[in-house]
Each structure stands twice: as structure tokens, then as C-alpha cells.
Structure 1
Amino acid sequence: MPLGSLPGVDGPGTDSPTLLVTLTGPDRPGVTSRLLGACVAPSVVVLDIEQVLIRGRLVISVLLTMPRDDTGIRSALRSVATDLGMELDVSVGYGDDDARPPARLHVTVLGATLPPAAMAAIAGRIADNGANIDRIVRMASYPVTAVDLEVSGADPLTLRRALAAEAARQRVDVAVQPADINRHAQRLVVVDVDSTLVQGEVIEMLAAAAGCLPEVAAITAAAMRGELDFAASLRSRVGLLEGLDSRALDAVYESLTYAPGARTMVRALKRLGYRFALVSGGFTQVIDRIAADLGVHYAAANTLEIEDGRLTGRVRGPVLDRAGKA
């Protein structure tokens, strides 16, 4: 928050001289401390500060109220820059940044890769809608790349439509959210597991271990055609697993492969304050381990009955079906 917006703190007027200091070069511990230490002078206060680090290269800018005599500050800054092997720029201007328009948005761009052409096209559509990009932050880098653009001055619905069309052309995903308090409220993401969060179907892997994959696949196909409801089809398929060594569940879990970007998605959204839930028609013996591995907050699934180290061919308790997921 700019100092001028705090009660009892007067920010610079548009005609008040200010000093913008920018230091660029290799990062190391203590750069920020030394830069600000060189700016100490009577009546000088920090109005704004921001720094960016990319591939070990630091760019840090500090906006200061103008001292009565900037000779001492300039000399101290040159000494720090020389000692650190960094480039220094000091410029005199007036006031702070112009007040941002009230319509502020976050535009999140995500793709397996983000080619410059795609980012240029997205930025172009933002500019075409009369908006400005105030800040860009990378949210994830592998196995997908995601960046968050803080945008001001655009109508949310108009920009969302424009970016949706451009995202389809560029083969990236784009989300537009208002930058209001609701963005930081408690939110829940609920995700299915089989063939969604992980590649493949757990029950088919168990069926392969039990030697009954064709029979299980046939029941699955009948359920997909609407000939069986999920609960009936699940009980029929689980019945074919009777006698399977429960260690097959460990083997199936160890062989699972997450869908591309799944781990990054969970990590990035948790950083933004989301809570995660896995809701699956699969089995707790596998789903709970996935939830623990990813740090997911909640998980719900069916539980296979096991006696004497072998599957009984039954499910314990009510079946979690499509209605249960809802």
C-alpha cells in the first residue's frame, strides 16, 4: 500500500520531486539492505519499492522523497553499486505513480509452454481493451508454465471474452479474476482422480493383477452405456477381485503416473489459498496415499474390504457414486 494512502501519512503531491533509484546486477544476500542503507538522509522516506529476480539477476527499484541535497545519497549509492558490481540508475521525477483505475484484475496464463508469440498476443488483447499490465509474476514453471498478470483499467466481461478467444488461438489457458477481497477468501477445489488427476483407472490395474481385466472392462462398458448404475457396476467389478492379495494395492499405487501438471496445479493453487479435495469412485487404500503425497486437505472414496491380507470382493459401507461426488 502506498504510504500516502495510510492515515496520518502524507504522500508526495504530483508536483513534489521524487528520486527513483534502480540497481541491476547479480543477486547476493544483503543487496537490499545495502541499497536502503545508502538512502538514509534527513526527511527522506521510502514511497515505493519493488524487486524482481530472474535467473540470478536482480532488479530493485526504490522511490524516495527528494532530499534537500541528493549529493550524499548519490555518492553512497555509487559506492554500493561499485562494490557489488551492479549497474545504478538514479533519476529525478515528480510525484508517485498515477492512481490505478478501480477495475483491477488478475489474468492467469497457463500452458505446457508459453511461447513469446502467445504472451505477445495475450498482452496485445489486454492493451486493445484499454488496460495496462501493472505487474507480472511467475506462478509455476514445470511441468506447465503459469504466470499471473495484474491488470488495471479493463472491463472484466469484455476482457474475459477477448482473452478466451485469443487463448484458444494460442493453445493456452487463461483465467480472469477480479482483484478484490473474494480472491483471497477460502475456496475449495474438488478433483476426481482416475483418468483426471492420475493417468489410468485403478480398478483396471487391480483387475489386470487379478487376471480379470476383460470381464471388468466389459462391466465398465455396460455402465457407460447406461445398462448398469455405478453402484451395481462397482460391486460387480469388485466382486471379480475376490482373493487378490492386498499387496496389489501397494503395487498399483507405486505404478501410478500423475497427469501432466497435476502436482504443479495443486502446489500453485495451495499457495493462492485454495483448499483441495479428492472425491473418487475409486478406493481409499490408494486415494488416501495420493492425497498424502500431494498434501491434499480432504479425500473421499470407497473402501475395499480386506480380510487376512486378501480382498473379499466387497466394498465396506455405502458406495460413493456420482450423486455422492456431487
Structure 2
Amino acid sequence: MQETDIQFLENSFKKYYFDHFNKIKVPERTSEREFGYQKFNSGMTRHITISNDKELHLMLMNNIPSDVYCSNGYYTFPNLPMNEKDWKEADLIFDIDAKDLNLSCRNNHTITICTNCKKISNSLSQCTECNSSKLEKKSLPCKNCINASKKEVEKLIDVLTNDLAISQENIQVYFSGNEGFHVYAYDLIFQKLGPRERSDLTDYILFKGIIPETFGIRKFKSDKKSFPNFNEKGWRGRFSTYIFGSKSKRPKILTEIFANGYSFFQKTLDDAAENIGVKIDPNVTVDIHRIFRLPGSINSKSG
């Protein structure tokens, strides 16, 4: 990036943080968090301790970062290296991104930049200038991308409130500034969870790893009475609504399900996960040491 471009961007970012600092979500228990930032044409600076909103504002004005981050984790010593921080707990955060939704519109607003000759093209496999396969993809989300991400957020909130009993008031949704949303679920019970427990939780939300026995389908002696009805809570009810469509179709489809057997129903469950599972990024949620974009801050990839 040219020096004049960097100067223009830094002036614009500084003005934003001077005029609109009230839009920044200053995290609770600020002094227990790790902060980090990245400057234009520069690497990441991490392991920063900030005590309050005034110190945060000062950091933004002095350093003018292109991107600023805050940890989901709470530490005794947030400024020390990771193995010395003394982790206490971490907020439960979910990431929903349009790039993970397999949307057909993506090809219409995705270009590639050849890392070899810098040629910009629509080719997604090979540079049209030098035939290099070393391509960097760039995409700007369209309205369809954002709307699809919003639908996934709605599905996630349904699971969080109805299945996990997290109060709606304790759920905050922030636009990531690029292609999706970060969903924060503030609940003391879930803050104590480690990576393994969070992995189990993401599997549940993704509707991943579901076995036929959950629905009364067994390799031997399946039980029709155990198959879920429309009014059941949780994934059993959601799956029932998805697979039957309406109550009038239930008897016929149920007969077909039991006639097709165990293996066929397992495939049906796997296919259903792609359609009704919430498309969160599991790697984000299980990471208890991750730093997230500070809500309200500017994403340098926007625009």
C-alpha cells in the first residue's frame, strides 16, 4: 500500500475513533482481557493490558490501528505470554460468516489476485496472465450474503434460548464488519467450559454426529413410538418439522423411513445437518484464547 494511501486511511480511522468512540463496545472486566491491534502494512501486536475505556481510547488515538481485537478469555496476567497468563474463563462467542454458507452468489462477487504477477481476474483456478495457480481470493459480500448470515443468526439464537436456556437479554449480536456476525452469549455456566466441552456444544448446534437411535431407529427392533412429533422441543422437533413438512405427511413418510432401514436414515440425518444445522465456525467457539474484533471498531477489509 502506498504511503499516501496509508496516511489517508489513518486520518480517516483516527477521525472515526475521535468522533464515534461511543460506538465501541468496551468489554466488561476490561483489565482481565488481552488486547491486540494491527496497523496498516504491519504485523499484529498482542498481549496488551488496558484498564478502562479511557486507556482504550488513548490506544486507538495514538496507534490508529487498522484492526483492533480483544480476547474472549479472562486472565490474571493478560500482558504475559500465553502460557503465563493464568486463564480464568472465557466468553462463549460464535462466528457466522457468509463464506461458509456455500452460496451460489459468491462467484459473482469474487475475484482472484495472482501472487506471482498481481493480475486480477475472475478465474478461480489459474492466473490468466502467467498461468500460476497461486491465487489469493477476494470477495465483497452482497445483500444475499448478509441476509443468509442473518438467517443463521436467527437459527442460532433459537437454539441458545430454547435449548440451552440462555436469556435473550444475555445474547449480543455484532456485525463483523465484513461478511458475517459474531454472537456473544453471556452466561456464567458456559464461561467455565473448556475446549472439549465447547466442541461438544458446537457439535450440538451444528446438528453434527447425531445417531439414528436418538429418533428410535435401531439396527434391530426400531420403535416408531420413539420418533419425534412436531411439538417436541430441541433438535428432535426441528428435525421432525424438516423431514415431514406437515402433519398430514407424517404417517406415509414415517413408514418409508422405517422401511428403508438404519443406514439410509443415518444418511438422512447427515443430509439434514447441512440444511437445518446452524452454520457456525466450530474452530472459533472452541478457542478459549482467541482475540476477536472489538465490537464497533472498523474492519480494514470493509468496503
Indicate whether the TM-score tops 0.5: no
> Which structure shows the bigger proportion of residues in strand conformation?
1
> Which structure shows the bigger proportion of residues in helix conformation?
2
Q: So what's the TM-score if we normalise by structure 2?
A: 0.24
Question: Considering only CA atoms, is the larger Rg found in Structure 1 or Structure 2?
Answer: 1
Q: So what's the TM-score if we normalise by structure 1?
A: 0.23
